[in-house]
Homo-oligomer: A and B are copies of this chain.
Amino acid sequence: MPPTSLLVVGSLAFDTLETPSGHAADELGGSATFFSHSAAWLAPKVRLVGVVGSDFPKRHIAEFEERGIDVSGLQVMPKGKTFRWHGRYGREMNNAETVSVELNVFGKFEPKIPAPFRNSPFVFLANGSPRTQRAVLDQVDRPKFILADTMNLWIETEHAALIDLIRDVDGLILNNAELLQLSGEPNVVAGARWALAQGPKVVVVKKGEHGAMLFTEKEIFALPAYPLERIVDPTGAGDSFAGGFMGHLARAGATTFDEMKRALVYGTVLASFACEDFGLRRLFSLDAGEIEKRAREYCRVFAVDLEGARKPARSNPRRRASPARK
């Protein structure tokens, strides 16, 4: 199967960010933005559907186009304002406190998938209400692979609709706390088993600084995070992770487990770059060579070869003796 198109439906936003590394006001942000700019480093055809207000500068549209991202599904509401979020991170940058949020035009977002986008084989439903995500499913034409993200808000307020949605997707991506909350299970492995039983063939668990895990009915895979000594801004890391993951699958045109393992590497790498500067800045200053270099370095550094070990383990005298005792 040839490299193929990747549709993302989600938010575009302006973020005001306060982290221990500094402040930034009115940074371009939003789930579809981080996702598409990450994925576009890998996938040849990224298609974006979202909504912005009349305050959205044309230069950001040009930035999408420059990266080959098709914005013909971007709704511009002439009388509305773009979604705004103001977040503040504590010292360890694990969680953001929301200082303020203005949903603006995103609060009434009704995704309309342009006819030429409906055949996209790869689809990412960025974090949004399960009803909005369902509206996308109703408009696409049997994609090869649909990945859905979600968050604690929808797990709390739209639990039934969310369970109903994940029954109809191929993959679910979420962070470890969300998985425990959604499943009611006490650990990630049991939570992933629960989620797989609801319908998806794949569950991707994002654990931030602790890496990521991939679960199917028969296989488990895990990777540590790329170790960063200094994180400037973790905003968008999860969507950049998803962008790297889906971007790799779309360029490979395949969803075998081996290709998903590689996709997890690219997710890890894109997420690590996203954290190195505020908003999308680092994703804009990247080059493909840097991505491949970091992916290869990461795989080399975290590979282990047991074969060179020097001594076999010892046997258990009890176990050796036990057959004779019978």
Q: Residues on A close to B: CB < 8 A?
A: 3, 20, 40-42, 44, 66-68, 91-93, 180, 186-190, 193, 207, 209-211, 213, 219-225, 227-231, 248, 251-254, 258-259, 261-262, 264-265, 284-289, 291-292, 295-296, 299, 301-306, 308-319
Contacts and interface: CB of A to CB of B under 8 A. Distances in A.
A222 to B, nearest CB: 3
A296 B229 CA distance: 31
10 contacts: A44-B314, A187-B209, A223-B302, A252-B309, A262-B304, A262-B306, A262-B309, A284-B318, A286-B316, A288-B312
Nearest to A313: B288
Contacts of A189: 227-229
Which residue of A220, A292, A309 has the most chain B CB atoms within 10 A of its CB atom? A309
A22 to B, nearest CB: 14
A93 to B, nearest CB: 7
B258 A305 contact: yes
Given A231-B187, A287-B315, A310 B41 contact: no
Contact of A299 (B20, B44, B304): B304
Contacts of A230: 190
B311 A288 contact: no
Nearest to A261: B304
B66 A223 contact: no
A119 to B, nearest CB: 20
Contacts of A304: 221, 223, 261-262, 264-265, 299, 303
A304 B222 CA distance: 10
Contacts of A311: 3, 42, 251-252
Given A180-B92, A190-B230, A210-B207, A220 B319 contact: no
Given A40-B314, A224-B211, A304-B299, A186 B92 contact: yes
A326 to B, nearest CB: 16
Given A188-B209, A224-B213, A306-B265, A316 B301 contact: no
8 closest cross-chain pairs (CB), A and B? A222-B224, A210-B210, A288-B313, A251-B311, A252-B310, A189-B229, A287-B319, A287-B316
